[in-house]
């Protein structure tokens, strides 16, 4: 029996596939490569010695997805596939609703057809919206401020409704905080196309000389140094969170909701400083006005995942900075050759 990983060629998916293979699981990846590279498969093979089964399909296409379930024996699904850029979702809302919602509906339908009723879903801390104070706990009300966030709020609701209708389903909704870092080999990592929106990929591109300087979005927040505070989590810790969630949904059938974060907030300036010290590289930056829609502080209460999954983060901000730079310096153009 295999674990089907949608979006398994992407950033978080590829790291999770590595850990699944390391623990001896059989893995099938489905990914349309809309935001990833086929070369990831070679890198996964180099790290683990194993090459997962791979189907280059859009999971919204039920015929093609059915074909995968027909050929492979799937026991559970980890569902990463989707678009994830907030700004882009504001510009192209229909594209976001279509890709994120339709693909998940298609997946649920085909899973039901094949009686595969275990799913781990990539949700996000974005579902806490802008009104809940940190530390954020799973019971807080959810909301969104942009189409990307709404797709996560809606997909959580859709999956809860699927469970209400059929309690044979077992579902984990994992609310990631801010994943950064890379596999310690430097073989796989985050590979943003165009100008990065997120802080760490931007820092990495300044470090490698692709961007001149970082813009720090505001230094007048009510935080330790005035800059925004987030809960950064190493992508390998995050990958292990999925393994624990898979175990959980195999033990008990319900909708399990977990924050995957460290429980600790780090400011923009603290992250820059750690990157500079750890990698001995200067990151030139300038302070610019706040970015619309940003909250001052966002970090997790991570107790539930610790108590129920026996999972917590193990890696430090220094580890995240070192591993990001290791990946970026070994792969200045990501998976692209030039």
Nearest-approach distance from CB 246 to ligand UDP, in angstroms: 26
Q: Which of 3, 5, 9, 300 binds ligand NAD (CB under 6 A)?
A: 9
Q: Which of 56, 167, 215, 314 binds ligand UDP (CB under 6 A)?
A: 215
Nearer to ligand UDP, 69 or 177 (CB): 177
Least Cα distance to 124 among 163, 84, 88 occurs for 84
In the complex, residue closest to ligand NAD by CB:
10
Contacts to ligand UDP from residues 32-61, by CB under 6 A: none
64 is a contact residue toward ligand NAD (CB under 6 A) = no
Q: Classify burial at 237, counting beta carbons within 10 Å of its beta carbon; exposed 0-12, middle 13-18, buried 19 or more.
A: buried
176 is a contact residue toward ligand NAD (CB under 6 A) = yes
2 is a contact residue toward ligand NAD (CB under 6 A) = no
In the complex, residue closest to ligand UDP by CB:
228
DSSP state of 287: E
- Report cis status (omega within 30 of 0) of the bond before 135: yes
Nearest-approach distance from CB 275 to ligand NAD, in angstroms: 17
Nearer to ligand NAD, 8 or 135 (CB): 8
132 is a contact residue toward ligand UDP (CB under 6 A) = no
Q: How far is CA 134 from CA 138, 156, 257, 302, in A?
A: 11, 21, 17, 11
Tell me how far apart the alpha carbons of residues 3 and 20 are, in angstroms, rounded to a whole number: 8
Residue 197: partners with Cβ closer than 8 Å, 6 or more residues away: 85, 86, 87
Cα angle for residues 180, 15, 333 (degrees, 5° grid):
65
Active site residues: 148
Residue ranges binding ligand NAD (CB under 6 A): 7, 9-13, 30-36, 58-60, 80-82, 84, 99, 103, 122, 124, 176, 179
């Amino acid at each position: 029996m295999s674990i089907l990983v949608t979006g398994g060629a992407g950033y978080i998916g590829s790291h999770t596939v590595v850990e699944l293979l390391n623990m001896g699981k059989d893995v099938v990846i489905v990914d349309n490569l809309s935001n990833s590279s086929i070369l990831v498969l070679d890198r996964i093979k180099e790290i683990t010695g194993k090459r997962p089964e791979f189907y280059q399909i859009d999971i919204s296409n039920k015929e093609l997805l059915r074909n995968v379930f027909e050929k492979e024996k799937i026991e559970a699904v980890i569902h990463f596939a989707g678009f994830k850029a907030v700004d882009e979702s504001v510009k192209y809302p229909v594209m976001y609703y279509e890709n994120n919602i339709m693909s998940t509906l298609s997946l649920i339908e085909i899973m039901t057809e094949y009686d595969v009723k275990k799913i781990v879903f990539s949700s996000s801390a974005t579902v806490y919206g802008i009104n809940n104070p940190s530390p954020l706990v799973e019971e807080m009300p959810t909301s969104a401020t942009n189409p990307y966030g709404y797709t996560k709020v809606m997909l959580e609701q859709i999956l809860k409704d699927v469970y209400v209708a059929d309690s044979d389903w077992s579902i984990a909704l994992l609310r990631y905080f801010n994943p950064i870092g890379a596999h310690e080999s430097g073989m796989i990592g985050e590979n943003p196309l165009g100008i990065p929106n997120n802080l760490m990929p931007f820092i990495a591109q300044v470090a490698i000389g692709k961007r001149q300087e970082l813009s720090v979005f505001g230094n007048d927040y009510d935080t330790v140094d005035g800059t925004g505070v987030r809960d950064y989590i190493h992508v390998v810790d995050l990958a292990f969170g999925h393994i624990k969630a898979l175990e959980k949904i195999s033990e008990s059938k319900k909708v399990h909701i977990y924050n995957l974060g460290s429980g600790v907030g780090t400011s923009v300036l603290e992250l820059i400083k750690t990157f500079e010290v750890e990698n001995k590289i200067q990151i030139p930056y300038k302070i610019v006005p706040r970015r619309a829609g940003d909250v001052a502080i966002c970090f997790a209460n991570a107790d539930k995942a610790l108590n129920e999954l026996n999972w917590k983060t193990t890696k430090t901000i220094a580890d995240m900075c070192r591993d990001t730079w290791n990946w970026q310096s070994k792969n200045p153009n990501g998976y692209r050759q030039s």
